[in-house]
Structure 1
Amino acid sequence: MENIEMRVRVTYSKQIPLRFTSILDLQKIWERSCRRAGIPLLYSQGFHPQARIQQASPLPLGFCGEREIIDFWVEPSPAKLFQESSINPFLPQGLQVLQTEFVDPFSKSLQPFVDASDYSISFFDPLSEKDLAVLLEKIQTSETILFTKHNGKQYDLKPLIRSIGVKTDPSSKPSFTISLSSSPNANGRPDHVLQYFHYAPSHCLITRTMIHFLNYV
């Protein structure tokens, strides 16, 4: 039987102009841009049909992303394949498709297979390499890194940290790098680590540079 739908996996970047755009608003942007590009998205059934779009590990508000991943279900339309050249001209500043590929439309959701995320953190009031090294040592030597959620519950970020480091580049200011578990049952956030050590997340730019998956993509 011929497939009546296709699933497109898109790798894209979300940069500073859209860092405070919520995941719901971002989905509307994708839907509107696809419509303008003539890409036939598929919609859910029911009284309030929604475009079939599935984001892997949505970014928290205020974060940028270098290689985010999102799936779209589209009608099989050879005349208008979902690719970089067909969608990028219709995307707003700060959003760019880097790569597209077709995957099995009936394969499992990406989210349960997310394992870890890598982040780069640069401070608007730049920290010196020495200051970043001090922060690195504090994180490494702390027995626990506790964060209190809105519901009053605490969780320990220390066991969720996979790696940390300081990145130096002659062409830019030094930055702090951290890799955290991002699994459904153990999800660490870099802004929570910063807050524990009294660094305000609003004073820095947090960029997710990579999402790691378990035996899936």
Structure 2
Amino acid sequence: LAPGEHLGLVVPEPVAAAELLACLAGDLAPAHGTICLDGVPLTALDRAEARGAVLVAPHQAYLFDGTVLDNLRPDEGEAGEAATSADTEALHAAAATDLVDGLPHGTATRVGERGAFLSGGQRQRLALARALRAAPPVLVLHDPTTAVDAVTQTRIARGIRTLRAGRTTLVLTSSPALLGACDRVAVLREGRVTASGPHTALLATDSFYGKVVSA
């Protein structure tokens, strides 16, 4: 990825996607090759430093029994009573503003253990907002919109693109809305990139890509 690039990655094999995410998170060593950040192998960096630079947000993100703000800022101790501009921007980008507006106590509403008081789509949007608020230099997202409708996916795609402007973002997904907002899309099949280009161009020239994205 080039610095600041917004790249979509289509990985049809779930096992391959899981292994790639584990490698990027530093939980699994690649069988071949090296993952580098600015030319430096991730394995040469302190683990905390590497994770601070590259944030891999899992598809099934964990929410704990605190308030919306507690979950939005998990590493900042007491969240406080009022949302900041960073909180608001992240919630807006994740199309979660209406979610908060509909809660009895807004961002001070408790979400329950594992987000039990929220719907699947609400949990997913809050987890995405948390990842966006962290604002890492490199953010890796895995299918962040599977629990929301197409209209909301489009809003989220635009929100991520706007909020992450100038920062490197990798999105593993088959969502047409998310892929359409990317600078470039790459298709990974059997461990190799078999196609790369803008979403619209791949739809017109790659039949496999068209099948995966429209499935």
TM-score interval for Structure 1 and Structure 2 normalised by the shorter chain:
under 0.3
The TM-score normalised by the length of structure 1 is: 0.26
Write 1 or 2 for the structure with the bigger share of helix: 2
Instruction: State TM-score, norm by structure 2.
Output: 0.26
Higher relative contact order, chain-length normalized (CA < 8 Å, sep 6+): 2
Give 1 or 2 for the bigger CA radius of gyration: 1
